């Protein structure tokens, strides 16, 4: 049973061009669950599931960041006129789909990286569409940058001490 799972996992990671990569625990857990539910699904079906998972993470990250923008500056990032969040599946670019938001692209299986990419994309959108810098450090009055503290995606400011400082988590529900 376990060796069947490892073989299958190996084949599937090859199919999505992720073989030999150090993948986050959440991806391996998800694969184990998928195997438990649906058994040894073929490569094409796995690529579909992988793509669906990426899109679902991107949507949820997008909602998180959109809410944060609305809370901070009262500007909308969703609506019928906005078509900057796109899902692209191009066989020439690889076996699994990508999410594009402005110049940010997401094909990573890591939810923290997805949130970072969405934050950058929404930031770019707020600047180009609303002509507003978001988010801004209340202390130094300058635009913030996406970074990680351990595994947590955060906004950082280059002001103050050399090397700057961490302002807050990108997800407003996460407190550092
Ligand atoms: Zn600052």
Q: What is the pLDDT of residues 54-72, one digit of tens each?
A: 888 988 999 999 999 999 9
Domain that holds residue 13: 2-131
Tell me, yes or no, whether 95 and 163 share the same domain: no
Tell me, yes or no, whether 26 and 39 share the same domain: yes
Tell me, yes or no, whether 121 and 150 share the same domain: no
Distance 141 CA to ligand 1 centre (A): 7
Q: State yes or no: cis peptide before 107, omega within 30 of 0.
A: no
Q: What is the pLDDT along the chain (176 residues), one digit of tens a residue?
A: 556 999 999 999 999 999 998 898 999 999 999 999 999 999 999 999 998 898 889 889 999 999 999 999 999 887 666 666 777 777 777 888 888 888 888 777 889 999 999 999 999 999 998 999 999 999 999 999 999 998 899 999 999 989 899 999 999 999 98
Tell me, yes or no, whether 144 and 126 share the same domain: no
Tell me, yes or no, whether 28 and 64 share the same domain: yes
Tell me, yes or no, whether 102 and 142 share the same domain: no
Distance 146 CA to ligand 1 centre (A): 13
Distance 161 CA to ligand 1 centre (A): 9
**Which burial class, exposed, middle or buried, applies to 83 when counting CB atoms under 10 A from its CB (0-12, 13-18, 19+)?**
exposed
Can you give the pLDDT at residue 73? 96
Domain count of the fold of the chain: 2
Distance 57 CA to ligand 1 centre (A): 29
Strands (E), the chain: 85-88, 98-101, 104-106, 145-149, 152-157, 165-169
Tell me, yes or no, whether 142 and 121 share the same domain: no
Instruction: Report which of 102, 3, 89 is spatially closest to residue 51, judged by C-alpha positions.
Output: 89
Contact 96, 54 (CB under 8 A): yes
Tell me, yes or no, whether 110 and 142 share the same domain: no
Tell me, yes or no, whether 107 and 150 share the same domain: no
Tell me, yes or no, whether 95 and 153 share the same domain: no
CA distances from 69 to 108, 122, 172 (A): 24, 9, 10
**pLDDT > 90: percent of the chain:** 64
Tell me, yes or no, whether 85 and 156 share the same domain: no
Distance 33 CA to ligand 1 centre (A): 42
Tell me, yes or no, whether 113 and 152 share the same domain: no
């Amino acid at each position: 049973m376990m060796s069947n799972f490892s073989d299958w996992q190996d084949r599937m990671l090859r199919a999505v061009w992720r073989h030999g990569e150090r993948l986050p625990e959440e991806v391996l857990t998800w694969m184990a669950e998928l195997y438990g539910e649906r058994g040894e699904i073929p490569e094409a079906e796995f690529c579909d599931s992988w793509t669906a998972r990426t899109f679902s993470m991107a949507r949820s990250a997008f909602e998180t960041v959109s809410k944060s923008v609305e809370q901070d500056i009262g500007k909308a990032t969703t609506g019928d006129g906005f078509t900057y969040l796109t899902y692209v599946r191009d066989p020439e670019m690889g076996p699994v789909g990508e999410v594009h938001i402005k110049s940010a692209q997401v094909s990573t299986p890591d939810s923290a990286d997805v949130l970072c990419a969405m934050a950058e994309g929404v930031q770019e959108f707020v600047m180009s569409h609303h002509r507003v810098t978001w988010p801004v450090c209340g202390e130094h009055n300058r635009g913030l940058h996406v970074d990680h503290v351990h595994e947590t995606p955060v906004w950082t400011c280059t002001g103050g001490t050399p090397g700057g400082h961490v302002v807050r988590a990108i997800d407003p529900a996460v407190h550092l």
